[in-house]
Chains A and B, each alone.
Chain A
Amino acid sequence: MFPVIKGASYVLVHTPDMVIHNGTTQTLERETNPDSEYLKVLRKHLRSYEDVVSYPVNQTYIGNFDPEELANLPRPWFEKKLENASRYGKFGEIMPEDEFYGLMKVCDVFDLVKLEKNFTLELKSKFENNKYLSELVSRLGEGNEIEEINKLVENGVAEGLYLNDNLVGCVKRAHEYDINLSAHVITENLAVKASGVLAALHIIEKANIKKEEIDYIVECSEEACGDMNQRGGGNFAKAIGEIAGFKNATGCDVRGFCAGPAHALLYAATLVQSGVFKNVLVVAGGATAKLGMNGRDHVKKGMPIMEDILGGFAILVSQNDGVNPVIRTDSVGKHSIGAGASPQAVIEAIVASPLEKLNLKFTDVDKYAPEMQNPEVTEPAGAGDVPTQNYKMIAALAVKKGQLDRSQINDFVKKHGYVGYAPTQGHVPSGVPIIGYAREKMLSGDMNRVMLVGKGSLFLARMTNLFDGLSYLIERNSGIVEDKKDAVTKEEVKKMVAEALRDFASHLLEE
């Protein structure tokens, strides 16, 4: 029995001050070129929370604006404000920076996050009136004096947390010498944890499941937590589960650059299909390092800095209920070590092979979901429209296989792929953003099949030059819960025993 996707949540966190203080493009620039023009004008290019909420692409990510509608909206999208835009969407929310600092405090179990007293009071009232956060309000504590926070930041033992350039808190280092427990790394990791917790809190409601029913958690963001003796020791999964209240779960972290979520979802699917666990949660938080990654290009082109948000998501994989979409674990495509690195070899391995396994044509898949980066972020930086490039490659392979005419490539691209609407947070765009909409459309009968394609640039870690890719199909549930073909009823067993006895008796008679 194939496992099903019981729900998906998607969250964004608006973090303009973290762009300045925690994004690597900016921190590196401050270190190497402190007087640069970019650093001087940076603040002017940051968007307000209202602008980030009304940005059509973000509304699509959290479930309020269908990707088909986004595709019909003329670009530039960043100049458009969506009417009736809302903080909350059917898949999740866009959290403002102040509340996120509160969530980081809530996620800190080692007293490393210090928030100013009055700021803490403000947060308390916001948390109390928020249905997702109210249970966590007591963890905010009473706050600290601003003098104490100032001193910690000035002495270099803590990273500052700012709102509109005003210091409101800090994150202390967790060790005097260990660089993996430095204030910078702890800030980065607490941001992963907090945004992962936010996605986890939303999935409970979206998938309509009780917290105690989660058996196992697979975390698949891009950071590593550990200390100097084991840099990536872990374990974000359990740390997130603890704050979210998943008392009956344990879990582990899975990494694979941008392909991480595709691997994680497959692990979850196999754990459920094998019967080891009933409900497995795949969750990922956001990467502060990537904030403002292409900021220089955005500023150069007179645009706002588009990478001012952290992304997160959670997907619940459960036993087949005959209703929710199934993960076809018999369709897995993989870019194996010996597959070759040319784009053609890659697409052959991860797109053509799952189709061939199930005897399907390229056009039998409603939508392909490869890397789904928002093109408005990548195009100004010279990386092009990544999802469209992927759809074109898939179409070109279909041409090479004789399944499509060359003149049909552009139509194929429009018909079989959504526009990109995911933040460029590495792991977040890689296939998984489609699951929310695809699940809905499969439940309503408007969609039959999508292919999730995870791709990863492993060379970045300098351990291998190999590329990575993993893919599989997600399909509408046929509604048949029990696999009759393999099931044997009590009556059938009786019949089989009787037949065997008759056979045995006839042998005896013959002798």
Chain B
Amino acid sequence: MTAQTTPIQKLDSEALSLDSVSLWQITRRRLFRRKSSVVGMVILAILIFIALTAQWLAPYSPTLSMLDAKPPENIGKRSAPCIYLLGCSQDQPQHIMGTDGNIRDEFSRMLYGARLSLMIGLSTVSFAIFVGTVLGALGGYFGGWIDNVIMRVMDVLLAFPSLLLAIAIVTVLGPGLINALLAIGIVSIPAYARVVRGSVLSVREMDYVSATRALGGNTYEILFKRILPNALTPLIVQGTLGIATAILDAAALSFLGLGAQPPTPEWGSMLGAERNQVFTAPHLVFYPGLAIMLTVLAFNLLGDGLRDALDPRLAHVS
């Protein structure tokens, strides 16, 4: 009996405060109520902090070989992690995650890798959201042949496995980080176009849109000021989850040698470069793998949390 009354009380308390708080405040409250989203946000906050402060946190340049360090360090390639606090001999230079195959500090490369991974995720998803939103909105609002053409092209893009299509695009454009970003951005467009089109279709015949139309509002005003803001919610959720996928795709492309090129410290390429050392220097595949996993997990947890927090049907769920 008690179990049934609790959500109703919560819903009531939220409903009572609707006058004084905005949708975003409610969303934030719901988001912070979910432990998994909080974990995602904490990981993400740490990653953002690392990305912003990598140049101060990193003890070395990510591309500096210890052979070129001044003075040169007496350390070999793929050396094991050495942390003085954990008993590593002071005779040995401290590299808390060891060195890679080119005798570069793995820890510094990991820190700079965070910056690159976040940049990849955000830039590709921003690009895909922008293009997808424009295409979806145009298709949904105007309908007819415009909608048909746009959505059939999207269907064609969706017919290919996204990573395979990204590989094909990079093969045509040539390997490189920018081309990889473009490829991932392109394969992500259909998801956003479909989401926006769906939202536009459901909103465009609503009374407030008709009212704007009756009051003489032009297409631009109706589409971008009335319809799109109301289609934002699913886009935010899709975008957050999309960042995780984009980071994973970029890591896969770099692992295959099609993404970031040496000596760029990208986690996927770091993993790929040392894949043969999985038995002799496991730390060199463990750290980048763990970093990719944590970043993707963080965005997925946050995305799930946002989806639940922004979904009015789940409002009663604590």
A binds B: no
Instruction: Show the binding face of B for A, using Cβ within 8 Å.
Output: none
